[in-house]
Amino acid sequence: MSGKSALRRELLAARRLLSEEDVRDASAVLAGRALDLPELAEAGTVAAYVSVGREPGTRALLDALRERGVRVLLPVLLPDNDLDWAAYDGAERLVRAGRGLLEPDGPRLGVRAVLQARVVLLPGLAVDGRGMRLGRGGGSYDRVLARLERAATDAGADVDADADADADAGPALAVLLYDHEVVDRVPEEPHDRPVHVVVTPGGTRRFTGK
């Protein structure tokens, strides 16, 4: 078993021990902390996801962002494990999909719709002190992150070297986790990219590397 697989197994086992009350209480705190992020305060479009099972809850956050007038994009899993996107129009417009996921029932916007987001909220199982994230291993978000990185690189190449514009036009990458899921070290592979901020019930932590 690889280092990533062993860590995933350990963290998923810990999540299964959480009660529904634990998950509900953490969800409320996480929504409040996430809404205080300046990146979210300034974002017109946010890419997020619907939490399921004992994942750190996102549903209160999705509704709060929508009430603010933020356009929220949610992933739609494609047969090849890539992600299409659709707008979030409320919990009543979510439908059951494969792998126990919930997806919007509205029009599909294409895999490149995520490039419109100023903040991308990534699912995860852990993050370490460098901002390296451990996902579930399906590879869907590796494709999303690669797509974002290519777009930022292309945007940077179009910026004049003497201009004040930020050549790194990529979105802020954030992950919501439980406190114990901020770990010493996440095993990494060459394609892995760090997140910029992690939000837990106990606080918010930022990472300097990109």
Each residue's pLDDT tens digit, 79-132: 999 999 999 999 999 999 988 899 999 999 999 999 999 999 999 999 999 999
In whole angstroms, what is the distance from residue 70 CA to residue 162 CA?
33
Per-chain mean pLDDT for the chain: 91
Q: Is residue 75 within a helix (H) or strand (E), and if so which, with residue range? A: strand 71-77
| 136 pLDDT more than 90 | no
**pTM of this prediction?**
0.90
The closest of 59, 64, 63, 57 to 27, measured between CA atoms, is: 57
In whole angstroms, what is the distance from residue 180 CA to residue 176 CA?
12
Burial level of 2, CB count in 10 A (0-12/13-18/19+)? exposed
pLDDT in tens, 53-75: 999 999 999 999 999 999 999 99
- Please give the pLDDT value at position 157: 64
Place of tokens 């356009």: 71
